[in-house]
Amino acid sequence: MDSSQQFWDQTYNKHYEPRIIDIESYSRKAGLTEQAFLRLIGDVSGIIILEIGCGTGELSVWLAKLGARVTATDYSRSAIERIRSLAQFNDVIDRINAYQIDALDLSKLGATYDLIVGKYILHHVEPFNTFVEILYNAMQDNGRGVFIENSSRNALLMFARRNIVGRFGVPKYGDEEEHPLESMEITTLERRFNVRQYFPDFIFLEC
């Protein structure tokens, strides 16, 4: 087990009690950026979805409750154990297949998808150019991908990562391999996909 997998296994191996994922409250209680992400996903009834980096599985379970058939993947064994427990608790275990697999090995699933989604996962995957080809081959014709990501274009974020996170009592929620998505990685995606980027407004004060 490498250090990155060990980090995420430890992260997801803490005490966990599955909960009911309510369709309406899940989206209503999400932050503004995540609400925009969920709106971009749109209607998923009857479609086949791949979630990369599913973590504890709330998004996959929510999508399954909306009528999708979901393949959920994560590098962490503990994460896969959690999503299976959550899917069982929410009575959608028949609509979710969960696999512990590296994002670079997705071709081993032998399937293609109408929609591929991920929350804060793209910036973890290297080599990125190899992953883009894997992502392209996993998507059906006329398929879509919707991802929410950290961006290196955010100067304040980059300053905080270099000087604050992991110090002064500020927790660090990432492994040593990750870095916010960079412009060259967007360019790599554009070689295969029609890429649209959406950036939230960052407001300090408002009257």
198 in any annotated domain: no
Is the N-terminal amide bond of 18 cis, ω within 30° of 0? no
102 in any annotated domain: yes
199 in any annotated domain: no
pLDDT value at residue 180: 78
202 in any annotated domain: no
DSSP state of 181: B
pLDDT value at residue 182: 86
pLDDT value at residue 173: 60
Q: From residue 12, how far is each of 16, 75, 82, 83, 189 by CA, in Å?
A: 8, 11, 8, 10, 30
pLDDT value at residue 175: 56
Question: Which residues are bridge partners to 48 per DSSP?
Answer: 69
pLDDT tens string for the chain (207 positions)? 576 777 777 777 776 789 999 999 999 999 888 999 999 999 999 999 999 999 999 999 999 999 999 999 999 999 999 999 999 999 999 999 999 999 999 999 999 999 999 999 998 899 999 999 999 999 999 999 999 998 766 776 766 667 776 676 766 666 556 677 888 999 999 999 999 998 877 665 566
73 in any annotated domain: yes
**How far is CA 126 from its chain centroid?**
15
Give the whole-angstrom CA distance, residue 57 versus residue 53: 9
Q: What is the CATH number of the domain that holds 95?
A: 3.40.50.150
203 in any annotated domain: no
Phi then psi for residue 192, to 5 deg, are -120, -25
By CB atoms closer than 10 A (0-12, 13-18, 19+), residue 38 is middle
205 in any annotated domain: no
Q: From residue 168, how far is each of 165, 174, 175 by CA, in Å?
A: 8, 17, 18
196 in any annotated domain: no
Q: From residue 57, how far is each of 10, 18, 24, 162, 207 by CA, in Å?
A: 16, 10, 17, 30, 38
Domain enclosing residue 13, as ranges: 3-190
pLDDT value at residue 199: 83
What's the structural domain count of the chain?
1
